Amino acid sequence: MGLGFIVGTLGVVLLSHAAYSTIQYRGLLKIMEEEFSGPPINVLLELVLGFVLCVYAGLTVPGKFQSIHPDSDENRIVSLPENLDFMIFNHRGRVVLSESDLKLKL
């Protein structure tokens, strides 16, 4: 559990509490027979803070981006998986590829 995960959890808790506070505030206004014009300022601040924390966690938790360049050293296969039974090279995609090659050669 890194810092980003803890920050994200705190952000979700703040967003949930802001939603609960808004629902509670609307219930109080119904009892007092007043019209709902929007949530209080402290709920809005809690909502913005929770959103910022969730965005921060969303950007930091996934980790390091991988290179998409085909010639990059990071994309090389270091070892094959232990169970080679599931690696199938004879499939119907080979037939489709060979038919399109024939069309291109004509």
- Cβ(32)–Cβ(38) below 8 Å: no
Residue type, 28: L
- Cβ(12)–Cβ(50) below 8 Å: yes
* pLDDT higher at 42 or 75: 42
List, for residues 27-54, the tens digit of each pLDDT value: 999 999 888 888 889 999 999 999 999 9
| pLDDT exceeds cutoff 90 at 3 | no
Angle (deg, nearest 10), helices 41-60 and 3-31 = 160
* pTM, 2 dp: 0.58
- CA distances, 67 to each of 16, 46, 77 (Å): 36, 37, 14
Q: How far, in whole angstroms, is CA 76 from its chain's centroid?
A: 26
